[in-house]
Structure 1
Amino acid sequence: MQRSTLGILLCMGSMLSFAVQDIITKIILTGGIPLGQLLTVRYASFALFAVIAAGGVAGTLQALRSSAPKMQIGRASLSMLEIALINFSFVLMPIAKAHSIVALFPLIALVMAWFILKEQFKPAHLVAVLLGFAGTLFIVRPTDAGFDTDLLYPLAGATALASYAIASKYLSARDKMRTHLVYLGLVGFLIALPFGIANWQSASLQQWGLLALVSLMNIASQLLFIRAMDFADAATLQPFNYTLLLFATLAALLILQEVPSSHTLIGGALIVVGGLITMIKRPKVAGKLA
């Protein structure tokens, strides 16, 4: 098996794990566990994983010596924000609908890179943005009676994720992977902790089992994606990140019996096509972590 093929398979395995993780997240939140408590448990486990991956306390202290600590903190905060917004959106709407909106993030990142990083904006990229906008209109359906303000949550999550991607791109050549992991884990945990304490409630044995499972799957997803990048470059893997939308839609259909509307399917397809167009001679964009 070629190295790139193995990388693609690992990437798709990571996306499948993320999709199942999102299903479990929705079950946990709709079952009465507060979002702050879920994030605290999830980030506590990820912080522990990051410390172990860094080589213990000594390695963690060394990893914290970033070339741009303030930006690392900002990047980790953006990651926490996008996860909170997207997870909350799962409670408000079908998972396929939320993921279709979140899939806009590469297009948002493209526009941000044009403004912030002064990257070249090609005609093909304009087509991509217009397709993404059209796909969003299909999902939002503004001609219907009223505007569903719940859609602002996944849209804000996509914007935060795009900002995270831009920050990751800036930091990727300046710090090592363990520095990224340590900041994501520790900063995320410190942000989540006060919300977790303020909203903590007793959980059943089954709920604790689900919390443990979603935490372990989060770590497994990260490990699979990190290993995927060892075998294939980001440009090769990026198209397969969109399998997350496919896997999440299928998992929600099979497990939660959530049938996506035709508008969601058409809109999601347009957004994915737009996202794929952005990869035409594009520099690599960092993948999702945490």
Structure 2
Amino acid sequence: MYQARVQNNALAAGLIGVATAFLAACTLMAKTLGGDTFGAPLPALQISHGRFLFAFVAVGTAALVLRPVLARPHWGLHVARTACGWGGITLIFAAVAFIPLADATAISFLNPVFAMMLAIPLLGERVGPIRWFAAVMALVGAAVLLRPTPESFQPAALLALAAAMVMGVELIFIKKLARRENPFQILLFNNLIGLCIATLAVLPVWQPPTAAQWGILAGIGFCMALAQACFVNAMARADASFVAPFSYGTLIFAALYDLAFFGVVPDAVSVVGAAIIIAGAVLLALREARQKPQPPRPTTAV
């Protein structure tokens, strides 16, 4: 049954902080699999398959232990949402093989901007001048990170931009699902359907991973499941408008991981571009919270 959680902003902020560390760790491990450190580089499709495989193992095990009450799912919305999520994560995993983690992470933060734009035709929402200004700010930051000059242009950054677009569509479906179903149920079906899609997609390119690569694939899946669990529990304990800004901590962890494991120091262009994107995204989140305040929804903790 649904069970409301006691509001606790400090705990929610801490949970989001842990979630961002796990999310950044997922992209870090995907980057190592895209190189030849632990064997022949794995295709992005195979990395995303591992993410859904092991995340489903974790979430499915939690479901067996917790035995949550499941309502009748809206299969159409679940499939559409998961297809977009699978596409977005696959594109991100492909991008981080070629560009810094921090750059790919920052560009991926454009997904709420694309979701805002899509909400106009798909959800009938109105967008005022401040929200448009926030969206333009974030897009300018993305243009900075793309480094659009012949000498410095990063084609792989377009993969991260495409991922943000696809994940923006995913947010539209998540909004629709959130009005109908328990977050744990959404999480469970997301990983189940994602595993089915990823399995079909990986068949043409699958190659035998080394033992180390299997371990890293498992790490990606379990870290993603833990990040999702932390996020769901944080959303159950605080308003979305309070939680959202803390999610940008992913960028900090991505930059730290990049420095620690690959010796990549963010240059001035990366810092400026990421700052503009985050400023625009935070402004957009705050404006939407003021326009459409939402009480925290009851949920089941993972």
Give the structure-1-normalised TM-score: 0.88
> Displacement, 1:284?
7.0
Is 1:232 the equivalent of 2:260?
Answer: no
Equivalent residue letter for 1:126 = W
Is 1:219 the equivalent of 2:200?
Answer: no
* Distance in 2 separating the partners of 1:207 and 1:282: 46
- Give aligned pairs, total: 282
Query: Which residue number corresponds to residue 3 of structure 2?
Result: none
Contact 2:111-2:167 at 8 Å conserved across structures:
yes
Query: Which residue number corresponds to residue 35 of structure 2?
Result: 30
Picking from 147, 159, 176, the partner of 1:141 is 147
Picking from 14, 17, 20, the partner of 2:22 is 17
* Distance in 2 separating the partners of 1:245 and 1:131: 18
> Displacement, 1:268?
0.8
Picking from 228, 237, 247, the partner of 1:241 is 247
Q: List per-residue Cα deviations over 1:233-272 (Å, max 9, x = no partner).
A: 2111001111111211121112211122211110110010
* Distance in 1 separating the partners of 2:208 and 2:155: 31
Query: Which residue number corresponds to residue 189 of structure 1?
Result: 195
> Displacement, 1:107?
1.5
Do the aligned partners of residues 284 and 143 (structure 1) sit closer, same or farther apart at CA in structure 2, a change above 3 Å counting? farther
Contact 1:235-1:283 at 8 Å conserved across structures:
no
The worse-fitting range, judged by mean Cα deviation, of 94-103 and 36-45 is 36-45
* Distance in 1 separating the partners of 2:163 and 2:51: 18
| Other structure's SS at 2:266 match | coil
Percent sequence identity over aligned pairs: 26
| Other structure's SS at 1:221 match | helix
Is 1:7 the equivalent of 2:16?
Answer: no
Contact 1:85-1:154 at 8 Å conserved across structures:
yes
| Other structure's SS at 2:156 match | helix
Equivalent residue letter for 1:162 = G
Unaligned runs of 5+ in 2: 1-6, 297-302
Query: Which residue number corresponds to residue 107 of structure 1?
Result: 113
Query: Which residue number corresponds to residue 299 of structure 2?
Result: none
* Distance in 2 separating the partners of 1:22 and 1:218: 10
Do the aligned partners of residues 20 and 48 (structure 1) sit closer, same or farther apart at CA in structure 2, a change above 3 Å counting? closer
> Displacement, 1:203?
2.6
Q: Indicate the RMSD between aligned Cα atoms, in angstroms.
A: 2.4
> Displacement, 1:145?
4.5
The worse-fitting range, judged by mean Cα deviation, of 163-172 and 194-203 is 194-203
Query: Which residue number corresponds to residue 207 of structure 2?
Result: 201
Contact 2:48-2:93 at 8 Å conserved across structures:
no
Equivalent residue letter for 2:20 = M
Query: Which residue number corresponds to residue 51 of structure 2?
Result: 42
> Displacement, 1:83?
0.4
Q: How does 1:86-105 map to 2 (within 5 A)?
A: 86-105=92-111
* Distance in 1 separating the partners of 2:135 and 2:20: 24
Give the structure-2-normalised TM-score: 0.85
The worse-fitting range, judged by mean Cα deviation, of 117-126 and 13-22 is 117-126
Equivalent residue letter for 1:8 = A
Do the aligned partners of residues 36 and 139 (structure 1) sit closer, same or farther apart at CA in structure 2, a change above 3 Å counting? closer
* Distance in 1 separating the partners of 2:144 and 2:49: 35
Query: Which residue number corresponds to residue 124 of structure 1?
Result: 130
* Distance in 2 separating the partners of 1:211 and 1:133: 32
Do the aligned partners of residues 40 and 137 (structure 1) sit closer, same or farther apart at CA in structure 2, a change above 3 Å counting? closer
Q: List per-residue Cα deviations over 1:54-81 (Å, max 9, x = no partner).
A: 448x979x55x31x32121100111100
Do the aligned partners of residues 185 and 275 (structure 1) sit closer, same or farther apart at CA in structure 2, a change above 3 Å counting? same
